[in-house]
Amino acid sequence: MNLFRISVLVFTLALVAGTIVHIRLQNWHCAYRINQLYDKHQRLQREYWQSRLELARYQSPDHLLERLKELKLPLQGFGLPDQEKTETTKPSKDKPTAKPSAKQPSATPHPTAKPKSTR
């Protein structure tokens, strides 16, 4: 009986030791995966910010004006330096131009319909 207890005790200790080794190996594996994912996250974050900086550079007004000059495209708008003014379109003779209305808007608002009260 004494031999049986010793063998059960040794088997139990071996099982506990094997479980501890397995848990340690899983812990190391998880730590390795976490480090890999963290490195990938850092790389992707770096690429993201590089893309954001490149996009900001492409959207800057100086770069846009330079690109428009390079492509020889006219640009219309307010406050743009060194741009030729475009000719205003003349009204055609076929269509009459709109004349400003002689009526002045009334100072009092138009009456609105009131809901009927039901009693």
Mean pLDDT, to the nearest integer, of 57-83?
78
- What domain range is 51 assigned to? 2-71
Sign of CA dihedral 28, 29, 34, 40: positive
pLDDT tens, residue by residue, 26-66: 999 999 999 999 999 999 999 999 999 999 999 998 888 88
Residue 102 lies in a domain: no
Measured between alpha carbons, how far is residue 66 from residues 50, 73, 85, 105 in Å? Answer: 22, 10, 18, 48
The total number of structural domains that make up the chain: 1
- From the list 71, 69, 70, the residue with the least C-alpha distance to 83 is 69
How far apart are the C-alpha atoms of 95 and 92, rounded to whole Å?
6
User: What is the pTM assigned to this prediction?
Assistant: 0.47
Residue 65, number of CB atoms within 10 A of its CB: 15
Residue 60 lies in a domain: yes
